[in-house]
Chain A
């Protein structure tokens, strides 16, 4: 047996030192996920789409409302929420950002990349935290910037019929829009790890966000009034409403409930990621 063979059998002190230097850490896995996120055209385009939808639709609806109030009908005076009008694009943008959250995960499962990722990080959970972390920071920064842009642009279009960030609840609603979108994407990340299939995870995500509230309407009204406001999307959207409708949760309470749904999904994702074969 050669000297090199012996080295491989009994790792040398040098090998141990190199191993220590190359230790997988949460920070390194975060760096890895950041490289992954920015090196895919699809993620960049999906983020752009979410920004364009937030700003574009917000400006369009603001312009529409501006034209409505310019020619007031004395019979039907226009009552509208200028903040809500300028943030209307969020309802479209949630589709893009939700898909992005799902794709960050299922894109790896559909291509087989996940096996390379998990053999580099065999403890697995750091991958989940890193994907959720990188996505949260990128989405919170970009989507909050987009909602501010939509709001400021929308108010500029509405002119005297608009409002300002100083008005009660407005700044919270604008920040809330960016946060709501981010948590939608986090739900997508969690569902991606649970379902591991793009179409299935997207269908589940939008089933929960868009279809569940409609289905819940068939509940007896004595139940519905307690259940419907706490369904994920309704609870989450409370934070981006300037004024709460009667029976709705308080803004941050609602958002807290929405975050709890996302946290439960991510925890379930972590348990399954740890247990299942890759």
Chain B
């Protein structure tokens, strides 16, 4: 169990994390979501005692991380991939960290097998791909058989097979009663892996919801209408619950009214429709709606980029 209370981190005049409070419960995978620069990594580093909070505190299993006598046994962590000396082999990297807490060579070899790095374990980490680096990071996280896992973007750089493997691994670890806290900037990935979502933007808590609720609330529907009489139709369908999103000339994006109702209104007034399409917002779009305004770095073609990212997965 992880508890953050009023966690705040200030760098100069910039608030990286702003009064963040949440609880991560055992037995489920909790996703920590937010756009890049939202303060996810800073929050995780504060939980792990690597960065000191400007205000507030975080505890893991009832104690501050730094107060645990055997931290690797309590909390398994994967920070950025390849926080590893590039000149050392994967085996010696794990062996050196295992030694700090008296973990045996047998266990080191065991976790190397769990993450599937046996063949490259004696090679220097400098030559590892990002995916291999992630697997090595996971091996370190599992080394002490911890009750809590804190993983920063573990699926970054993994191939589809690796992503599926990690998804199942995280679910299995949670099913054993462990606390699993995983950050990601990909809503689609978290929807498949996590049960609970903690969503942040610009260092602030935006939502702390179950994935089921998030999906339910975000599955609201838009209807795309194209008509030569779009402007008149807009006046006819307007109502207190109906909103319009931006759309090209001659088209409407209607929210709050189904396609059947719009079609019937159009028919009653004898209007020509060129298109009447129900559009379901994807989870990724719902996530972006939620975090819009809290995205740190806007590209000129942010929408196009996000689209490309989605289709690449």
Contact = CB atoms under 8 A, between A and B. Distances in A.
A40 B140 CA distance: 19
B144 A36 contact: no
Interface of B: 1, 26-27, 45, 48-52, 61, 65-66, 68-74, 77, 79-80, 82-89, 92-93, 95-97, 99-103, 140, 144, 147-148, 176-179
Contact of A36 (B1, B61, B96, B103): B96
Contacts of A9: 1, 26
B27 A4 contact: yes
A111 B83 contact: yes
Interface in A95-122: 107-108, 111-113, 115-122
A23 B66 CA distance: 13
A122 B52 contact: no
A215 B88 CA distance: 40
Contacts of B85: 36, 40, 107-108, 111, 113
Contact of B88 (A7, A40, A120): A40
A271 interface: no
A120 B71 contact: yes
Contacts of B61: 8, 11
A115 B82 CA distance: 11
Contacts of A41: 87
A119 to B, nearest CB: 5
Interface of A: 1-9, 11, 15, 18-24, 28-29, 31-33, 35-36, 39-42, 107-108, 111-113, 115-123, 277-278
B79 A20 contact: no
A131 B96 CA distance: 13
Contacts of B68: 19, 122
A96 B176 CA distance: 51
A277 B51 CA distance: 4
A121 B66 CA distance: 8
A120 to B, nearest CB: 5
Nearest to A25: B102
Given A8-B147, A39-B89, A123 B66 contact: yes
Contact of B70 (A8, A19, A29, A39): A19
Contacts of B178: 8
Given A15-B147, A21-B102, A40-B85, A115 B96 contact: no
Contact of A22 (B45, B72, B83, B177): B72
B101 A28 contact: yes
Contacts, number: 144
Given A2-B177, A39-B88, A29 B100 contact: yes
Contact of A121 (B80, B100, B147, B148): B100
Contact of A23 (B79, B96, B101): B101
Per DSSP, are chain B's interface residues mostly helix, strand or loop, or mixed? loop
Contacts of A120: 71-72, 97, 100-101
Given A8-B26, A118-B50, A121-B100, 11 more contacts: A7-B177, A8-B148, A22-B103, A32-B100, A39-B88, A39-B92, A112-B80, A115-B45, A115-B83, A116-B140, A119-B49
A28 B100 CA distance: 5
Contacts of A119: 48-50, 65, 71, 77, 79
B79 A8 contact: no
B200 to A, nearest CB: 19
A24 B68 CA distance: 9
A122 B77 CA distance: 13
26 contacts: A2-B27, A4-B27, A8-B27, A8-B178, A22-B69, A22-B101, A24-B71, A28-B99, A28-B100, A28-B102, A29-B99, A35-B95, A36-B96, A107-B85, A111-B86, A112-B83, A113-B83, A113-B84, A113-B85, A115-B45, A116-B79, A116-B83, A116-B93, A116-B140, A121-B100, A122-B48
A40 to B, nearest CB: 5
B24 to A, nearest CB: 11
B76 to A, nearest CB: 10
Nearest to A42: B87
Contacts of A39: 88-89, 92, 95-96
Contact of B96 (A18, A22, A32): A32
Nearest to A5: B27
A116 B50 CA distance: 10
